[in-house]
């Protein structure tokens, strides 16, 4: 299983695969984690596997993992994100928020159209938005 710094490097690897030029420190992180040549799809599959099979993972690990996966902009993960959002909205709204950002990256209408701010600190608004989104999608 990856460390938090390796998950961060995975996010940079996803961004690199999507054509973003990395800062030197980000590129060094990818190289140090040994991820510069790994197929992004295989990397995402590995992270998804951990999230699916290890419910005891810490909130910080899950949050960082979903943040990293959100950087992949992979539409194949849409149902995966929805499934985990339905679990995390009951478990930890901060982790759910990272999934909501990942869904937003896929142009999913997670947020109310009139909402002007999107902060992890807006726990109640985020919870309500997640519940509304799931009710419309599941």
- pTM, 2 dp: 0.93
In terms of C-beta distances under 8 Å and separation of at least 24 residues, what long-range contacts does 127-136 make, across chains too? 127/89, 127/93, 127/96, 129/100, 130/85, 130/89, 130/93, 130/96, 130/100, 131/89, 133/85, 133/100, 133/103, 133/108, 133/109, 134/82, 134/85, 134/86, 134/89
Whole domain around residue 126: which residue ranges? 4-137
Average pLDDT, the chain: 94
pLDDT tens readout for residues 12-60: 999 999 999 999 999 999 999 999 999 999 999 999 999 999 878 999 9
pLDDT tens readout for residues 95-108: 999 999 999 999 99
pLDDT of residue 121: 83
- Report residue 133's pLDDT band, with 50, 70 and 90 as the boundaries: very high
Domain count, the chain: 1
């Amino acid at each position: 299983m990856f460390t938090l710094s390796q998950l961060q490097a995975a996010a940079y690897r996803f961004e690199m695969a999507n054509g973003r030029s990395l800062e030197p420190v980000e590129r060094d992180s990818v190289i140090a984690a040994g991820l510069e040549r790994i197929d992004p799809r295989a990397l995402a599959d590995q992270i998804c596997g951990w999230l699916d099979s290890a419910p005891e993972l810490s909130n910080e690990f899950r949050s960082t993992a979903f943040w990293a996966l959100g950087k992949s902009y992979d539409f194949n993960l849409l149902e995966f994100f929805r499934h985990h959002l339905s679990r995390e909205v009951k478990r930890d709204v901060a982790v759910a928020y990272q999934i909501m950002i990942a869904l937003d990256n896929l142009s999913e209408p997670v947020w109310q159209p009139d909402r002007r701010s999107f902060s992890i600190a807006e726990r109640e608004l985020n919870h309500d938005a997640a519940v509304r989104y799931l009710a419309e999608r599941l």
